[in-house]
Chains A and B, each alone.
Chain A
Amino acid sequence: QKEVEQNSGPLSVPEGAIASLNCTYSDRGSQSFFWYRQYSGKSPELIMSIYSNGDKEDGRFTAQLNKASQYVSLLIRDSQPSDSATYLCAVGRRAGAGGTSYGKLTFGQGTILTVHP
């Protein structure tokens, strides 16, 4: 089982719809969770972070975390063609927790999202 798993997609949604991106993780010691957006040929850009169970909203983005189910998701409301990109889920342990993790992040493979007009 991979440490962090995402559906690679591609996920295609119409403009204006809600895009739902999912991520599961295997390490129960994980404490920090991030979503990155990566446009083709560019570097990953941090768009959301979440640490506590529940929802966190920032503009059109909502991150949801359920530690009991080891599941984190990203919702994009009113999707725009400019949201078309690969979305990477990243998970981290607190440094020193259960070993010398030193704040490393483990990334999923990424989900390709296409928003069509």
Chain B
Amino acid sequence: NAGVTQTPKFQVLKTGQSMTLQCAQDMNHNSMYWYRQDPGMGLRLIYYSASEGTTDKGEVPNGYNVSRLNKREFSLRLESAAPSQTSVYFCASRQGANSNVGYTFGSGTRLTVV
């Protein structure tokens, strides 16, 4: 089925470990986004990519890096995980930055840092 695919779905890391969250969409969307969701905080934007070849910081970028590998894929990397990065991470995509259509979200990655 067409949509946004995130891997892994669950992950437990030790403090200081690194990992990459993968996101791929098959809807030929131009714009892709990474959000984190914490209780009482709503969805907060980490990084986004308006189009292939561009990335920019969102509201909470510290401790993260991203790569827009091609039009389909947008990965999020934690170089040295911290307990404060325990969260649910959602990848989303959109046809274009000026699209009047909302995001399509992936199913999320639940990350626990111990």
59-114 of chain B: CB within 8 A of chain A: 90, 94, 96-108
How many whole Å from A21's CB to the nearest CB in chain B? Answer: 14
Q: Size class of A's contact patch?
A: 20 to 34
Contact with B along A1-45 (1 / 0, CB 8 A): 000100010000000000000000000000010101000001111
Within 8 Å by CB of A46, from B41, B97, B99, B103, lies B103
Q: Size class of B's contact patch?
A: 20 to 34
Q: In whole angstroms, what is the CA distance A8 to B50 when docked?
A: 30
Contact B31 A102 (CB under 8 A): yes
User: CB-CB < 8 A to B102: which residues of A?
Assistant: 32, 34, 36, 46, 49, 90, 105
Q: In whole angstroms, what is the CA distance A34 to B102 when docked?
A: 7
Whether, in the assembled complex, A54 has its beta carbon less than 8 Å from a beta carbon of chain B, the answer is no
Within 8 Å by CB of B56, from A34, A44, A100, lies A100
How many whole Å from A29's CB to the nearest CB in chain B? Answer: 14
Whether, in the assembled complex, B53 has its beta carbon less than 8 Å from a beta carbon of chain A, the answer is no
Q: In whole angstroms, what is the CA distance A15 to B18 when docked?
A: 47
Task: Knowing A49-B102, A103-B98 are in contact, say whether A109-B31 is a contact too (CB < 8 A).
Answer: no
Contact A44 B48 (CB under 8 A): no
User: CB-CB < 8 A to A106: which residues of B?
Assistant: 45
How many whole Å from A95's CB to the nearest CB in chain B? Answer: 4
Whether, in the assembled complex, B43 has its beta carbon less than 8 Å from a beta carbon of chain A, the answer is yes
User: CB-CB < 8 A to B56: which residues of A?
Assistant: 100, 102
User: CB-CB < 8 A to A8: which residues of B?
Assistant: 40
How many whole Å from B28's CB to the nearest CB in chain A? Answer: 16
Whether, in the assembled complex, A94 has its beta carbon less than 8 Å from a beta carbon of chain B, the answer is yes
Give 21 A-B contacts (CB < 8 Å), ordered by A residue: A32-B102, A34-B102, A43-B105, A44-B43, A44-B90, A46-B102, A46-B104, A49-B101, A51-B100, A88-B42, A88-B43, A90-B103, A95-B50, A95-B98, A96-B98, A102-B50, A102-B97, A103-B94, A103-B97, A105-B102, A106-B45
